Amino acid sequence: MTPVEEEVLRLVRGWGTLSADEVIDLALYSEGGFYAGSGRAGRRGDFLTSPEVGPLFGVLVGRALDGWWRDLDRPDPFVVVEAGAGTGTLARSVLAAEPECSPALRWVCVERSAALRTQAASALPMEPPAHVLGGAAGGGPVVTVLDDLPAGPFTGVVLGNELLDNLPPVIVERTAGGWAEVRVGEDHGRLVEVLAPSPEMTRAAERWAPGASVGSRVPLARQAARWLAQARASLEAGWVVCVDYGAATTAELGERGFDGWLRTYRAHGRGGGWLEGLGTQDITCDVPADQLQPSTIEPQAAWLRWLGIDALAAESRGTWHERAAIGDLAALRARSLVAEAQALTDEAGLGAFLVLTWPGGPTPEGTRTA
Ligand SMILES: C[S@@+](CC[C@H](N)C(=O)[O-])C[C@H]1O[C@@H](n2cnc3c(N)ncnc32)[C@H](O)[C@@H]1O
């Protein structure tokens, strides 16, 4: 048994059952959890996220930040909170691209994993949080790292690349008798799924997937909705922007099938069942966008095209053709950028990710989030 499995079994023996989101939370973030290991750097080694494909994603995020900064009338300070910052790769490439907003930029890496915070701090020149969040103008860009979202209120942007999929969902299943919550219990010393009736989860499931067929499962993005409310409340002006894989509707995920939307990853490939080897594999959930009520939603490929990725790729293709015979650093950089642009806009991969935005400020009364 892994240390996380032992801990889950101990808790199950005390409580009877645990909810799936509690178990996934322990599997990812407790001592012995997937993101606690100091050897792990985000998903590097398992699969690449957009910032890890290369510096191009950071160049384009820098352009997007400049656009939002201009829309906000060029505030100084301009606070960018990067939630789920991992090892700080995106921060490094945005800062290296020197966007126009740089002198006003206060970049706050927020990372739940202490091991990854330490790696980010060794990769970026970090300043004390009070210095970065103190409110004085000029002197940017400056960077700090925290374990949770700062309270604010700030003017700026809260960014999350592949964060929401790592916020554990509640799992519900449509049974012949109605909806049931998938919880975790014990059978002769083994951790097993247990279906438990839950009026609260039934109401939520009926709202988001009323037509689901018997046997189908859907996620309820409770933790993601709580995180989003906190992120929006930290902004007095600006936007929350999340890039992630998912679907426009919960019903689509129900049709995709349980192992189509709750996936595990371990060392270069798909992992085992979600209850197997707790703590040794990443567990990720496709984002049900309808439950989070974004004000805009578009595929990453379209967003990056709007930010000018095609022109950058065409320019690099020209440089590569001119300099391929010379084979110098400029030629190699150009070739690598062309490959990055292809990967970031691949309709069967990163290009199909969803870019979701919400305005800053408290979540309006009556908003029907999860
Ligand atoms: C899949 S990784 C993405 C890392 C990075 N954004 C990237 O795109 O390469 C998700 C990260 O979110 C972190 N995380 C999960 N929940 C968090 C939370 N509530 N606040 C901050 N970080 C969180 C995890 O520890 C992990 O490093």
The CB of 355 under 6 Å from ligand 1? The reply is no
| Interval between CA 316 and ligand 1 midpoint (Å) | 31
| Interval between CA 48 and ligand 1 midpoint (Å) | 13
Q: Using 70 as the pLDDT threshold, list the residues of the chain that sit under it.
A: 38-47, 362-370
Which pLDDT value is given to residue 42? Answer: 46
Distance, C-alpha 82 to centroid of its chain: 10
Q: For 279-332, write each residue's pLDDT tens digit.
A: 999 999 999 999 999 999 999 999 999 999 999 999 999 999 998 888 889 899
The CB of 353 under 6 Å from ligand 1? The reply is no
- Is the CB of residue 172 less than 8 Å from the CB of residue 165? no
Which pLDDT value is given to residue 363? Answer: 67
| Interval between CA 213 and ligand 1 midpoint (Å) | 33
Which pLDDT value is given to residue 364? Answer: 63
The CB of 351 under 6 Å from ligand 1? The reply is no
Residue 265: strand pairing partners: 270, 282
Which of 81, 166, 234 to mutate for ligand 1's pocket (most ligand atoms within 8 Å of CB)? 166
**Nearest-5° Cα angle at 155, 154 to 156:** 110
Q: Give dist(CA 197, CA 195) in Å, integer.
A: 7
Atom from ligand 1 closest to the CA of residue 52: 9
Q: Give dist(CA 308, CA 17) in Å, integer.
A: 50
Q: Give dist(CA 322, CA 331) in Å, integer.
A: 8
Distance, C-alpha 198 to centroid of its chain: 28
Residue closest via CA to ligand 1's atom 20 equals 112
Tokens at residue 100, please?
A: 């126009």
The CB of 40 under 6 Å from ligand 1? The reply is no
Which pLDDT value is given to residue 369? Answer: 62
**Burial degree of 370 (CB within 10 A; 0-12, 13-18, 19+):** buried
| Interval between CA 318 and ligand 1 midpoint (Å) | 36
Which pLDDT value is given to residue 234? Answer: 96
Where does residue 295 fall: left (phi above 0), alpha (psi -120 to 50 degrees), or beta otherwise? alpha
Atom from ligand 1 closest to the CA of residue 86: 27
The CB of 83 under 6 Å from ligand 1? The reply is yes
The CB of 300 under 6 Å from ligand 1? The reply is no
Classify 237 as helix, strand or coil: strand
